Structure 1
Amino acid sequence: MFRIKASIFFSVFVAMLSLMLISPIMPPLIRELGLSESHSGWIISLGSVWMAIMAPIWGRRSDTRGRKPIILTGFIGMGVSCLLFALALYSGLKGWIAGGMLVALLIVTRSMIGLFIPAVLSSAQAYMGDVTEGQERTAGMAIISAANGMGLVFGPAIAGAFTGIGLLWPLYFGTALSFVAFVAALLFIPPAKPIMQERPPKVNPFQSGLRLYLLAGFVTMTAVIGIQVVGGFYFQDMLHLTGQETARMLSVGLMLAGVAMLLVQVVQMKWMKLQPKTMMLVGSLFILLGMLIFLYSGSKAYYYLAFFLFGVGAGMSMPGFMAAASLSVSKEQQGGVAGLIASVQGITAIVTPIVTTTLYQADKSLPFWLIIALSAAIVPVLLFVKGRASAKPSANEGLARE
């Protein structure tokens, strides 16, 4: 059991770290390429379409073909895609490609990254669902959230360190890391028989109970992605920073958020052991508080405090909605629900960058007010739901409700 959970942790950690290597360098890169904030939003959003499309497909395939083969496919695809994305950016910085052709190439290569990352995330989360039950499921999803937190810690830190050499070096590191993760997965992830030999039963995202958790996931991921997309622009404009200073500050801020997520997971697993709904409620309030500090402070120290509080909120909300969704379906549907969760993340990554960068161009505070409004709105929705999620033994017994 330890080997399986450790393998799942490492797989999610590498996938998240690879994503976080990109976040701190995108705002300064976009401006050095002569593109606008809205271009950044479109590149990230349209590049995430494939994540939303492929996440449920990868999840269902992992049910029938096994978790390990899909994870291996994901790491190979991530490595190749990250390299191509770096080469496209390099060509733009050198002036070999510009304008619409450059934007199109960045969208295509970013799309490839979005295509393969959910293969790792969906399969790893489904694997955790395979080997856990009941309250242990919440602890298992906290392990996945801790892996996300580790990625948030080390991704920005590594990106910030590499920016001293060059803004593209984090991407080169991410490429190499993906291939290392492939080898590690090949050697250490235990082989397991597929959960289903035939096509698994589909999971309806609108079925009672599950839709609430997916909505909570959408709100949480809107906050997480929104800060990554507009945070760099906000700090650069508010504090009058250079490109490298912006990348370093965003790296430190996201690192603090990651540390907070890790601390929350340790406390949750060892002492608090809160139910999923409670975790989502508390997490939403912390996210809301972090956003208010972003809006009403004007110094690095308060911005860093806001990042930490935001990390506490995300660290509570993410395992909360993941565990609740996983507990609401049967064993045979773990791949399907994991795919839906990854798909929600992909859809959020499509919508949020476009919306937040467009709002940012209208008024710098609007993206933060959007996150505040969504976080406040989800609280009464969660409060009206009675009971709690519970695991289901089979796919034919319907959906367990909170």
Structure 2
Amino acid sequence: MLNDTSIAGSARASNTSLYTICLFASLIGFGQNALLVSLPTLVATTDITIASWSVLIAIGTVLFIPTAPYWGKRSDRRGPKSIVLTALLGLSLCFSGMAAILYALDKALLTTTAALVLLAMLRIVYGVTVSGLVPACQHWAILTVGEQHRLSAITSISASLSMGRVLSPVLAVALIKLDPLFAITVVGFAALGLFVVCLMTPALTPKPMAHTVLDKPITMTIPRYLIIALLLCSALGVLHYSLTPLLSAVSSLSAESLSDWVGYLLTLSAIVTLATQIGVVKKKKLSLEQMLFWGGLLLMIGYSLFLFANITAYLIGISILSVGNAILTPAYTTKAMSKQSGHQGQISGLLATSHTLGFALSALFVAASTSLFINPLWFSVLFAVALFTTITSMSFQRGLETRN
């Protein structure tokens, strides 16, 4: 009886820690969308153009590429808590500092040039520190529930990111109506509050492993999963960059309603993603191989529907895409992490780098589509086909190995 009580208490403590870790991860999704929702108002109320804001955002995003693997590797060696603390502090500094700089600009205490320089410095801090948040949270979640529940841990972090993206547009719009700087200010103070919570959260350190020399670099043990991550985000990035032009092609929509429909589609995507993560992935309705197969197939179908200039096709397409993304991402992440159990933080960081590279490359393909006068979603369909081909080739190879 005493032993059963002890086990139940330990399980409750693990669940509490997991929920807390998910709360840390959700803030990055909330912060990203809050900034995007705030952009039109910030452009209208400051002398900073949308082009300048795009460069500022890109500065932080590009820095994820070299720094995410570094934080993942550090998490494997010293544990994830210190990385999460660093990320939350960087997030708080970036958003609080951004609000302070824009307030000073509004009161003519800073010139536009000085404000841009300071904002660029904050985005550098953001890119260097916050890049470790998701890899470290994934690693911490796995340490909390155990490697045998790796898929559940990864799905919990993915669901928390989706939850942040679902809640942020509505809350950000409400806060912006009170003051243009309220949304980003709230993100800054929320990060500081979660930093304090993280200080009080029990740390978990990976088991020390004997020093071994790997036969080949980690990137060579998971190349196909890195390719899948790259193709997934390249296709998704093209869609995100192209939403406004695609909606403009729908004759039934007025120019005034375009921004609203972008918000509707993104919110629908986040809701469907979250529902799939909770209702399908968390409940283990499909095996990892089935998740990979159906995820890839649904991506091809979903992106194909965006080739039709019809709002109904777009609504159905983004719903199908969201289901595909929701089951595909935790599947390939889990499969990749199972390749090297002692390097899960580093693998998570490498996957994050592939995601960032995918989004960066998508901007180039959108620009190319403009020069070629073609629908940019043809590139998304091409990426989805390449992704599905990669998945099926992996399944075919596994079948041959099993037969032999």
Structure 2: distance between partners of 1:206 and 1:192: 26
Could you give the per-residue CA deviations for residues 356-392 of structure 1, whole angstroms, max 9, x where no partner exists? 5534654786432222210111111110113899xxx
2:124 to 99, 105, 111: 111
Amino acid aligned to 2:345: G
The structure-2 alpha-carbon separation of the partners of 1:11 and 1:223, relative to structure 1 and needing over 3 Å to count, comes to farther
Whether 1:259 aligns to 2:268 is no
Q: 1:269 to 1:373 in 2, by over 3 A?
A: closer
1:121 Cα shift?
A: 0.9
> Which residue of the partner structure matches residue 169 of structure 1?
182
Q: CA deviation at 1:293?
A: 3.2
1:342 paired residue number = 352
Identity %: 20
User: Displacement of 1:163 after TM fit?
Assistant: 3.9
1:383 to 385, 389, 392: 392
Look at both structures and tell me which one has the larger radius of gyration over its CA atoms: 2
Residues 277-301 of structure 1: CA deviation (Å, up to 9, x unaligned): 43233223333333333341343x5
Pick from 358, 361, 376 the counterpart of residue 351 of structure 1.
Answer: 361
Structure 1 position 197, deviation (Å): 8.2
Which digits, 9 at most, give the CA deviation of each residue in 1:165-190, with x for residues without a partner?
Answer: 45543222211221122122223x32
Distance in 2 (CA, whole Å) between partners of 1:25 and 1:200 is: 49
The Cα shift of 1:260 comes to 0.7
Please list, as runs of the form range in 1=range in 2, the aligned pairs for 1:2-401 lying within 5 A after superposition.
Answer: 2-26=15-39, 42-87=55-100, 97=111, 106-132=119-145, 136-187=149-200, 189-196=201-208, 204-208=217-221, 210-232=222-244, 234-235=246-247, 239-242=253-256, 247-269=259-281, 271-299=283-311, 302-330=313-341, 332-352=342-362, 354-355=363-364, 358-359=367-368, 362=371, 366-386=375-395
Secondary structure of the 2:395 match is coil
Given the superposition, is the C-alpha separation of residues 197 and 385 from structure 1 closer, same or farther in structure 2, using an over 3 Å criterion?
closer
* TM-score normalised according to structure 2 size: 0.80
Q: Deviations over 1:232-269 (max 9, x none)?
A: 56546864545xx6554433322211111111112224
Give distance in 2, aligned partners of 1:384 and 1:72: 40
Aligned residue in 2 for 1:399: none
State how far apart, in whole Å, the 2-side matches of 1:184 and 1:29 are: 31
Return 83-92 or 196-205, whichever deviates more.
196-205
What is the TM-score when the length of structure 1 is the normalising length? 0.80
One-letter amino acid matched to 2:69: P
- Bigger relative contact order (CA 8 A; separation at least 6): 1
CA contact (8 A) 2:81 2:140 kept: no
Q: CA contact under 8 A between 1:41 and 1:229: conserved in structure 2? A: no
Aligned CA distance change for structure 1 residues 8 and 373 (closer, same or farther; 3 Å): same
Query: Aligned-pair distance for 1:119?
Result: 2.0
Comparing 271-280 with 123-132, which one deviates more in the overlay?
Answer: 271-280
Structure 2 gaps of 5+ residues are 1-13, 399-404
The code of the aligned residue for 2:133 comes to V
The CA deviation string for residues 29-69 of structure 1, in whole angstroms up to 9 with x for no partner, is 56876888766654433331221111111112222332112
The CA RMSD measured in Å over matched residues stands at: 3.5
Relative to structure 1, the CA distance from residue 70 to residue 206 in structure 2 (aligned partners, 3 Å threshold; closer, same or farther) is closer
Amino acid in structure 2 at the alignment position of 1:114: G
Write the distance in 2 (CA, Å) between the matches of 1:318 and 1:276.
Answer: 10
Q: How many pairs align?
A: 381
What are the Cα deviations for residues 129-148 of structure 1, in whole angstroms up to 9, with x where unaligned?
33456662222221122112
**CA distance 1:302–1:78, shift in 2 (3 Å):** same
Output the CA distance in 2 between the equivalents of 1:57 and 1:117: 12
